[in-house]
Structure 1
């Protein structure tokens, strides 16, 4: 039965008249009416399997009953009282739980915020205050948010930087280790890890390591296209930080809370970061962020250096406590690992069948499928990404792309195997229809993406 989108399309038209273009990336006219688990219903009554999980913010799925109950109970007690001046028990309880689940066998403290962007800003502030240094190192193709500090860390899109400068100074970017598309044009098996030598050379020639406060790294580069660095690279980078008194900061906003088959992405690399930045899935859709770091680092600033009227909002904290309990009780970290391995196997099978798939990579239920024009040139196939994602939408699957040509597969961790299989089937059906020329070019004007 053909889907109808009249109400959704009309709402999108109204939206374009009253909401700033700066805050919307358009893929297709999906207007959410309600959602449960891994299923979304739009304003016209169409249902979709969700492979996006609200940009990775809903690891426990849509409207988990325990989260809903926690929110309702807290609202019945009180909605908010600023913890800039007063206290609430929920912040204490949540901070204890975050300290418990984050890697690192040392005393820690927590600072709360509202979104991953402000948490990355806070990480800059704490690292500069603690070390007395000013320089920060981040990565090309990284994405850390859209506040001034987090934009300064990010190096993924000129659209974020145009017309707003000057941005934060003393932020330096180095190539992210991406073996499939080496930014330095080397081959994986013979490169000698030249990417880390780039940093070593910088330390020797123009970037004094004793002036560097921190390295901020996504342990798995999300919006860059689900890029997984070699373990040897992360280990050597961490070692360089330790040798030079530089803080190692892991941005877990997209990859945290079980997304990768471990509580946090950095746990795949057996290093203990000095600071972990988190947001998105921390409170199952409620606005909240947190910075968890070594106690001495987190005590290096005085209030109100990282204080917000709404930070650590009690309703959000209540949702976050429920979220952590759900992930533990329902064994979602392990489920993410198992279903992720299965999905990767399915995608590898598709890669064998269709040359358009150049690379498949991921950890847990954080998977990127890179579309190319041919396997000799490895030229990015941005057109295919747009058309395939739009056709998936028409078939009842929420699927997006980033880095221009990488399908983003990040469903809620509560998704059933049957729902996952149906979603994977829809992707294959859409790939076939693209290869057969059955998806019209008109979609290219509708599906914009990153």
Structure 2
């Protein structure tokens, strides 16, 4: 067994690189995490960082929350695993009722377990096809639904998720997501929405018969696509179109659910829109491998076992962790906390927008933000500046990454303290000042943009 002196991130990463596939990690920083508590990470050198990523929004309750650790420990001492594919366990049985009651779907609701957001979206597609008897799936450009073949076929956020692996699954079609950078200078909001909805309808009018489409799958607020909310009127039009044509309306809540936006589910930012199906993962069990597809009873009962069973999905430890996660979100009022601290974050980034001409559009939905970094001369996306900023933040003790190359991804644990948040603000402002002064020397290609 290899022993390490806990003083060398780079040595551990160098040794690991001999056995870890290039496809298995997106390159950002030379960071080996030793421990985490709340919103603070500690690396193997003992350096501490304020976490503004929350394990890709998978640890909304923070790192090693004592209530969750206690629930995991107690359950592990009783029963680690017995496959739920054949027999029930107590935590999963309790969680199924609690989670379906929390869902934004009215009427009788059921769920099926999975291990990741990817297989939850695969399951969603299975149930949509099983219920409707239709085969086609419509999703959106900029979407990240996962890395299994089904979820990857519905995604459209990185060329490396299709390069050398095709053909992907048949029957998947993409329509443009109405991101603000697609809005033309002469368009007002209504004109932009009307044009984007016309583009949404075009495939249905030319080569994708609506009566052969099983489901429209959307992230109401896209995560890896840029932390960007669809205009409400636009999503209402899509929702109405789906129901007029017997198409199921499904939402991916893997990244944006579990309190991230200041509401349990991101779809609740769109009053009156009720999904037929939804996928949940990431923070469902505070980062442990657990996911679920949740939907109306008649849809979830349209398939029979073993259409969607997995040996470890819904196992006792992960479901115990999830029950404790729900406790923490409720008992510590994390929905309200996300809303309130999100307002403080919006104020800070708006101030940075006014102060630095490379800070563009600021989008904030609770503690969930996308901040565009742009070229000061032409206001177009600037990956180089964004990369230098996150690298300098890392040097100063903040973990933040980019999406789409030029968009700062702001998703701290919802338990982050005000003091920690404002310390992070100070570090981010320092990094921006250093960039303005031309003091950041970093030109490596990192992140999703390194395709």
TM interval, short-chain normalised: over 0.9
What is the CA distance between 1:165 and its match in structure 2? 1.3
Structure 1 contact 179–187 (Cα < 8 Å) conserved: no
- Give the structure 1 partner of residue 406 of structure 2: 405
What is the CA distance between 1:208 and its match in structure 2? 1.1
C-alpha separation between the residues in 2 aligned to 1:338 and 1:215?
A: 32
Is 1:96 equivalent to 2:92 in the alignment?
A: no
Q: Which moved more, 1:200-209 or 1:221-230?
A: 200-209
- Give the structure 2 partner of residue 332 of structure 1: 334
- Secondary structure of 1:130's counterpart equals helix
Q: Which moved more, 1:304-313 or 1:198-207?
A: 198-207
Mind listing any 5+ residue stretches in structure 2 that lack a counterpart?
A: 1-5
Is 1:48 equivalent to 2:49 in the alignment?
A: yes
What is the CA distance between 1:199 and its match in structure 2? 2.4
Structure 2 contact 158–448 (Cα < 8 Å) conserved: no
- Give the structure 1 partner of residue 3 of structure 2: none
- Give the structure 1 partner of residue 276 of structure 2: 274
C-alpha separation between the residues in 2 aligned to 1:243 and 1:360?
A: 35
Structure 1 contact 79–314 (Cα < 8 Å) conserved: yes
C-alpha separation between the residues in 2 aligned to 1:202 and 1:280?
A: 32
- Secondary structure of 2:180's counterpart equals coil
Structure 1 contact 228–362 (Cα < 8 Å) conserved: no
- Give the structure 2 partner of residue 21 of structure 1: 22
- Give the structure 2 partner of residue 85 of structure 1: 86
After the TM superposition, which residues 124-273 of structure 1 pair with which residues of structure 2 at under 5 Å, given as runs? 124-182=125-183, 187-189=187-189, 190-191=191-192, 193-270=194-271, 271-273=273-275
C-alpha separation between the residues in 1 aligned to 2:227 and 2:193?
A: 23
Measured against aligned partners, the alpha-carbon deviations of 1:346-365 in whole angstroms (never above 9, x if no partner) come to 10011011110111002111
The alignment of Structure 1 onto Structure 2 pairs a total of residues equal to: 443
Structure 1 contact 106–294 (Cα < 8 Å) conserved: yes
Q: Are the structure 2 counterparts of residues 439 and 192 from structure 1 closer, same or farther at C-alpha, using a change threshold of 3 Å? A: closer
Measured against aligned partners, the alpha-carbon deviations of 1:244-300 in whole angstroms (never above 9, x if no partner) come to 110011000000110001000000012100011010000012110011100110011
Measured against aligned partners, the alpha-carbon deviations of 1:48-88 in whole angstroms (never above 9, x if no partner) come to 11000011000100000000000000001010000111111
Is 1:65 equivalent to 2:66 in the alignment?
A: yes
Structure 2 contact 81–316 (Cα < 8 Å) conserved: yes
- Equivalent residue in structure 2 for 1:298, among 297, 300, 309: 300
- Give the structure 2 partner of residue 312 of structure 1: 314
C-alpha separation between the residues in 1 aligned to 2:223 and 2:131?
A: 28
Q: Which moved more, 1:280-289 or 1:199-208?
A: 199-208
TM-score (ref. length: structure 2): 0.96
Structure 1 contact 256–278 (Cα < 8 Å) conserved: yes
C-alpha separation between the residues in 2 aligned to 1:50 and 1:370?
A: 20
Structure 1 contact 179–188 (Cα < 8 Å) conserved: no
What is the CA distance between 1:188 and its match in structure 2? 3.8
What is the CA distance between 1:206 and its match in structure 2? 2.0
- Give the structure 2 partner of residue 116 of structure 1: 117
Is 1:351 equivalent to 2:350 in the alignment?
A: no
What is the CA distance between 1:191 and its match in structure 2? 3.0
C-alpha separation between the residues in 2 aligned to 1:105 and 1:78?
A: 34
C-alpha separation between the residues in 2 aligned to 1:41 and 1:201?
A: 50
C-alpha separation between the residues in 1 aligned to 2:447 and 2:369?
A: 21
Structure 2 contact 221–228 (Cα < 8 Å) conserved: yes
Structure 2 contact 402–447 (Cα < 8 Å) conserved: no
C-alpha separation between the residues in 1 aligned to 2:404 and 2:129?
A: 31
What is the CA distance between 1:202 and its match in structure 2? 2.7
C-alpha separation between the residues in 1 aligned to 2:187 and 2:134?
A: 36
Q: Are the structure 2 counterparts of residues 326 and 105 from structure 1 closer, same or farther at C-alpha, using a change threshold of 3 Å? A: same
Structure 1 contact 387–439 (Cα < 8 Å) conserved: yes
RMSD, matched Cα: 1.5
- Give the structure 2 partner of residue 283 of structure 1: 285
- Secondary structure of 2:444's counterpart equals helix
- Give the structure 2 partner of residue 444 of structure 1: 444
Q: Are the structure 2 counterparts of residues 154 and 192 from structure 1 closer, same or farther at C-alpha, using a change threshold of 3 Å? A: closer
- Secondary structure of 2:221's counterpart equals coil
Mind listing any 5+ residue stretches in structure 1 that lack a counterpart?
A: none
C-alpha separation between the residues in 1 aligned to 2:411 and 2:251?
A: 20
- Secondary structure of 1:351's counterpart equals helix
C-alpha separation between the residues in 2 aligned to 1:394 and 1:199?
A: 43
TM-score (ref. length: structure 1): 0.96
What is the CA distance between 1:192 and its match in structure 2? 5.1
